Structure 1
Amino acid sequence: MKAKYILMLMFFWGTFTTFGQNTTTIHIAGKVEHELTLTLDDLKTLPVVSGKNFKVISTSGDIRKEFKTYQGVLLTNILDKAQIKVNNPKEKGKLIVLVKATDNYTTAFSYHELFNNPTGEQVLVLFEIDNRPIAKDGPFLLISATDKITGARHVKWLSEIQVVEL
């Protein structure tokens, strides 16, 4: 009984200590040649993309947030820096990119969705909204600007990017 209580406590402690935790880095791992831990300064060495008028839309169709302007980098540029491992081009269809927040909220993109589709040109890791560093939702967040329901893949407190094979 005591062991069960300790395990439950460890589970809840881990859950609550990561929720909303401020992270100043993004860790990239999995099927990559170079596992990376990137800071804001590291991200700014990649080509910066700017955009205007982004709306976070919930599954009910409500507008949850609006960004007049934003700046960030393409997720594909981060993945190119880490160099995804692919032994055979036919394996690309089995690759999934998982994007995870500090509270374990996770969203996924297929390799082909990011690299062979216009969607990939609008999946961004943001570090600035409305001409200010992101504060409330963590220093980094991810958006997929071409999604109809943008809130489903709006990842606040972005902390980890994992490349996995199905």
Structure 2
Amino acid sequence: MLTDTSPPTHPPQTQAARHFSDSIAVAGVLPGSRSFGRDDLLAMADVRSGPATIQCYSGRHVRDLGGMRGVRLTALLDAAGMQSLPRAACKRLVIAALAGDGYACLFTWHELYNTPVGEGAIVMVEQDGVALPPSAGGLQLVSLADLRLGPRQASAVNRIEVHGWQAACRQAS
């Protein structure tokens, strides 16, 4: 039996290394759709938290997070004009934080602006005082007020989409 002992032409990459984000675009029904680069996010990062444990919905341990620094998801939405929308329209909004691998973390306007979830839904820019590296996917979203942090955490977050409930339902069908 022949065995190929030559080195691979491309070293294997981890999932996080294939997907990296150092900026986030906020788009959808907001009047001020815009992008935030790493420097913008670092300047806005006023939330400090941690440590925390990421667990799957099943309870399986995924990873531990040390000290975190980040930006509230609501701060990004407000900077893109969320507060200027009529309140009646906001109550029908669905917000999706999208990762480079296609994973989506979903929120409603009600959760983000009327429950403790909004205080803990953050885009992490640093862990333990160090900017998140490409090997970790760069920017990460975590919803710290969830009972299990795994389902609404994502690496390489690069886009936040805001849509009305009826529009979101039509797009899904």
Q: TM-score range by the shorter chain?
A: 0.7 to 0.9
Q: Percent identity?
A: 26
When residues 52 and 68 of structure 1 are mapped into structure 2, their CA distance, relative to the original with a 3 A threshold, is same
How does 1:46-125 map onto structure 2 within 5 Å?
Answer: 46-84=44-82, 88-125=86-123
* Number of the residue aligned with 2:149: 150
User: Which whole-Å deviations, capped at 9, do the CAs of 1:25-49 have from their partners, x for residues lacking one?
Assistant: 1111001111111111111222511
Alpha-carbon separation, structure 1, partners of 2:102 and 2:69: 24
Partner AA of 2:21 in structure 1? T
Would you say how many aligned residue pairs link Structure 1 and Structure 2?
Answer: 148
* SS of corresponding position for 2:107: strand
Partner AA of 1:81 in structure 2? A
Contact 1:43 / 1:73 at 8 angstroms: preserved in 2? Answer: yes
Partner AA of 2:145 in structure 1? T
Give the TM-score of the pair, scaled to structure 2: 0.80
Q: Please give the root-mean-square deviation of Cα atoms over the aligned residues, in Å.
A: 1.7
When residues 87 and 158 of structure 1 are mapped into structure 2, their CA distance, relative to the original with a 3 A threshold, is closer
Structure 1: runs of 5+ lacking an equivalent = 1-18
* SS of corresponding position for 1:155: strand
More displaced 10-residue stretch of structure 1: 109-118 or 55-64: 55-64
When residues 75 and 61 of structure 1 are mapped into structure 2, their CA distance, relative to the original with a 3 A threshold, is same
Structure 2: runs of 5+ lacking an equivalent = 1-16, 166-173
Bigger radius of gyration: 2
Query: 1:131: Cα distance to partner?
Result: 2.1
More displaced 10-residue stretch of structure 1: 153-162 or 78-87: 78-87
* SS of corresponding position for 1:59: coil
Query: 1:68: Cα distance to partner?
Result: 1.8
Alpha-carbon separation, structure 2, partners of 1:87 and 1:28: 15
When residues 88 and 131 of structure 1 are mapped into structure 2, their CA distance, relative to the original with a 3 A threshold, is closer
* Number of the residue aligned with 1:8: none
Matched, 1:128 2:135: no
Give the TM-score of the pair, scaled to structure 1: 0.83
User: Which whole-Å deviations, capped at 9, do the CAs of 1:88-131 have from their partners, x for residues lacking one?
Assistant: 42222210111000111011100010011111001000011122
Alpha-carbon separation, structure 2, partners of 1:88 and 1:128: 34
More displaced 10-residue stretch of structure 1: 86-95 or 44-53: 86-95
